[in-house]
Amino acid sequence: MYSFKDVSKMNNREVHTPHAMQAFVAFDKAALAEGAIPRKYKELMAIAVANIRPTEHQKPRDENREELNRRRRGEVMRHAWSLILLMIAVLPGVGVAADFRLTSPTIKEQGTIGNEHVLNGFGCSGGNVSPELRWERAPKETKSFAVTVYDPDAPTGSGWWHWIVFNISPNTTSLQAGAGKADGSSAPKGSIQSMTDFGQEGYGGPCPPQGDKPHRYIYTVYALKVDQLPPKKEAPGAMVGYYLNQNALGKASLTATYGR
């Protein structure tokens, strides 16, 4: 088995031998074992490794062995350098967004959302307080942040936007509990809370239909390459979502559930 260091040394060599091929195929396991690449990229690396194997060609009658070998070496070279570029893209310290992380002291990944954050209305009687959110290791080029809460399981055909706040200063690394008040008094200075699917601004907590299986609620912070997005506070969630994805340098999410 080749180590990650063994494979890395091959970056500056001509890669066309069977031993080189074995090393690149072994790269995925070696790199993951030594912590060189975040485990979340395992599937991506597996695809690249699968594509590195040269395609077998049926030798045409008028083509000599030398030409066939030359073409195969060319294929191996192209696939090998594709993998090298992928390695560079996902190595820690280069792909900064890979380390971008969102946490909350009251919302745990795959945990159940507490009643303090549940909607007060629509048959629910929660506190309707937006949770405290903290993020770290955002891309250095970030010029602003945005935060959303979205339920992909709502029976609407298009999900449900529970909270949208954007134009958050790049110096901000957290939102305090209750930052989603509809009057904007607790939101970061200069930020905009736009329209949710409840038909109003500010945070609206979970309240899925009674009897549904627990819905997923995805809390996401976006690192953006612009200091301000063009939508106004009256803009619907889908429009803001479009601008978020068009301008995202990276994003970090936290998913929790709630049912009744």
Residue 76 has pLDDT above 90, yes or no: no
Q: What is the pLDDT of residues 124-143, one digit of tens each?
A: 999 999 999 999 999 999 99
Quote the mean pLDDT of the chain.
Answer: 79
Residue 179 has pLDDT above 60, yes or no: yes
Confidence of residue 28 (pLDDT cuts 50, 70, 90): very low
**Poorest-pLDDT segment among 97-106, 150-159, 208-217:** 97-106
Give the predicted TM-score (pTM) of the model: 0.65
CB 137 within 8 A of CB 100: yes
Kindly tell me the burial class for residue 79, based on how many C-beta atoms sit within 10 Å of its own C-beta (0-12, 13-18, 19 or more).
buried
Residue 186 has pLDDT above 50, yes or no: yes
pLDDT of residue 223: 98
Residue 41 has pLDDT above 60, yes or no: no
pLDDT of residue 92: 38
* CATH topology classification for 96-258: Phosphatidylethanolamine-binding Protein (3.90.280)
Confidence of residue 83 (pLDDT cuts 50, 70, 90): low
Other C-beta atoms closer than 10 Å to the C-beta of 127 total 15
pLDDT of residue 67: 73
CA distance linking residue 157 with residue 13, whole number of Å: 52
Which phi and psi angles does 127 have, rounded to 5°? -80, -20
Q: What does the domain layout of the chain look like in residue ranges?
A: 4-90, 96-258
Percentage of the chain exceeding pLDDT 70? 66
